[in-house]
Structure 1
């Protein structure tokens, strides 16, 4: 069950498939920081398989450098992370490197999703030409070329809901026709991450494709429903309280035992090591606004309207749109609003619900909302904590818990062929 992950990002989609028993042959990603994250995660999975997890834990505790961690890992595992942009210029080199990997001659599955800015409603709204001339619109063509190159049994293509309406739906229809031309049938699924027990409202299009010589009877993924048993507060209960600009990069102890959700979702897995529970600093003005937003939610159950702030706290000239630009991650709901890559720029849309901590989410809290396990470390280009790079990777990722459940569906049908 060999797979390659295209446009891999930090590897959230891949993480789910690895948990389900699939074997990663290669990850292809152009962002250098994300590639370091992928290598570090590959190191973790290798060491876990070899019963040498202590080496990885020593790295988390800053007892080893990144280079020293990688020195324990076979070269082919690290070289399986290919730091190149997908396209005509680099594809021959990418294919060569994939073919050289163990399992690279037989790929059973391709997963991944091209960058979504060109299809997203927000991206189009902010673009002068509505993203019509953005070259990322046609990265699905490159994806299809990889299908032709490796002829996998299945593929999984993930993207934003805006894919339905981008260019009046013409891109989606072109995808369907192109995948058909390459020999693949597809089924579209409009999925909600919270239905897969991710504590976040995150709507995504997931296309499952299969080679036309196969006849899988795929279940209706849209029928999956969460138990509704858990609430957002379940991700916060065991974490040390910190204020704006505080936290520990690589190692600290948990505040208390894990909630039931953290164990069920495999976010806490018995290892008493906490990393990247660190938050950005905020101005005094922002902290005043945060307190107003949290107080309004706690007392009235209402979101803060930017126009309702005192005049001395209003600095934005735009008073007609993005009036909810300051938003609390409400702990009493079954799921939060969507975590997006904008969290790398500021934390105003992700205010911590504890008014006493008075800050935006830490890197680890954002990762938990995306269902990443706590032993997942987000790297920067340079070794050491890079908060911006980590937030960007988290915001762009597919929730691993959701990916795992999709992977298990694929696996059940894969065994029949």
Structure 2
């Protein structure tokens, strides 16, 4: 089989981090299904990028990034109808599935669906989500989205599926959800296995453990792949060193690099091949937060200690609860890996403080994207907050690429 023609559907696609890895590994997307409108626009923009890349016409894409072309004109001139229709802005479940199946059938034509990839929203499984909900998320309907995922498996009978989610899935409801999920997938005709790799093993400069459950048709010549770990370690400073210094609230959407590319950036192709970068924008902060950030930065850089809320001067405290979420102000470690990137970065940035006393602020959109291993030419539609949310929810493309590459070697 020509591996260039291996096809897939991406469910709960988000901004397309998982899909980016599969496309870069030579797979062909038939459809992406995602409920968030801004994420769908991001997916569409990225699909046009890949189309122009194949046509050796990336100059048109760069013009869009440089704001020389309106998005509507860019999509109209350089996309096509089938490409745009392949991004389905629909929630999965209920009667919507009939509409989704019909549209995917039209898009696939005579092509089989070789894989289904994706991971339902993780809030119902996450430890933080359960801690914040009075019922521990037991009544959350998202607990059972794996059954909706399974409907696509039954309908398209792919050779392989990839189901990515947070580690809390294993412990949710004392492990019953995960046990039931595995049994359900087996019941509909799939063998399966899972591992809990750390994104850092694949070159992502982030401590991010996730469940990667892979299923394959019973009686097929397939087994769970063994992933190759990146042996050399780099640091966050290798990832961020070439980006322009920013002040809080600085909104220059297009900036030039301040330094040449690093070994890390070159190895993993995170620079976009041109001399500008987009979305290196920082959110504004009030004076109180900036003072707290400075304390947190100095404490981490000088003593390698995290700031705890009770340690703040009383004048900087805003509530009396000193027992819950005391580590909400966290500096990204410049001499190691970042802590896990999550969607909450869209809210306030307190958990992702830039590690420099001369740049007291939280991470920019581009810095967060790099920590998730998105290349600099990956553009997130919908504004700053939406971009942060999309980035935090994403599967790191470098991690996805390794998964896709190993699967492509095993599919018969």
* TM-score, length basis structure 2: 0.97
1:268 and 2:294 correspond: no
- Paired residue for 2:3? none
Is 1:139 aligned to residue 145 of structure 2?
yes
SS of 1:207 mapped into structure 2: strand
Deviations 1:23-62 (A, max 9, x none): 0110000000100000000110011111111111100000
String of CA shifts for 1:84-130, please: whole Å, max 9, x gaps: 00012211111111111145741000000000000111101111111
Which blocks of at least 5 consecutive residues in structure 1 are unaligned? 381-385
Alignment of 1:218-233 (within 5 A): 218-221=224-227, 224-233=228-237
Q: In structure 1, the residue corresponding to 2:117 is in which secondary structure?
A: strand
Any stretches of 5+ residues in structure 2 without a counterpart? Answer: 1-5
Aligned with residue 255 of structure 2, among 244, 252, 257:
252
In the alignment, the residues of structure 2 paired with residue 10 and residue 115 of structure 1 have an alpha-carbon distance, to the nearest angstrom, of 13
1:121 aligns with 2:121: no
Task: Name the counterpart of 1:172.
Answer: 178
**Match of residue 14 from structure 2:** 9
The answer (yes or no) to whether the contact 2:11–2:118 under 8 Å persists in 1 is: yes
In structure 2, C-alpha distance between the alignment counterparts of 1:168 and 1:301, rounded to whole Å: 35
- Which range moved further: 261-270 or 350-359? 261-270
Q: How far has the Cα of 1:281 moved from its partner?
A: 0.3
Residue from 377, 394, 397 that aligns with 1:397: 394
1:27 correspondence with 2:68? no
Q: With the length of structure 1 as denominator, give the TM-score of the two structures.
A: 0.95
User: Hey, what's the Cα distance between the residues in 2 that align with 1:228 and 1:125?
Assistant: 36
Task: Give the count of matched residue pairs.
Answer: 406
Corresponding residue of 2:93: 87
Q: d(CA) in 2 for partners of 1:225 and 1:84?
A: 36
Matched, 1:208 2:214: yes
1:65 and 1:26 mapped to 2: Cα distance? 25
Supply the distance in 1 between the matched residues of 2:50 and 2:226 (Cα, whole angstroms): 31
Report whether the alignment pairs 1:189 with 2:195: yes
Q: Write the distance in 2 (CA, Å) between the matches of 1:105 and 1:313.
A: 61
Q: What value does the CA root-mean-square deviation take over the aligned residues?
A: 1.1
Q: 1:291 aligns with which of 285, 289, 294?
A: 294
Spell out structure 1 runs of 4+ moving beyond 6 A: none
1:258 CA drift (Å)? 1.1
Give the Cα–Cα distance (whole angstroms) in 2 for the partners of residues 321 and 58 of structure 1.
47
Aligned residue number for residue 62 of structure 2: 57
> Would the aligned equivalents of 1:60 and 1:273 in 2 still touch at CA under 8 Å?
no
Match of 1:110 among 90, 94, 116: 116
Q: Work out whether 1:316 is the aligned partner of 2:282.
A: no
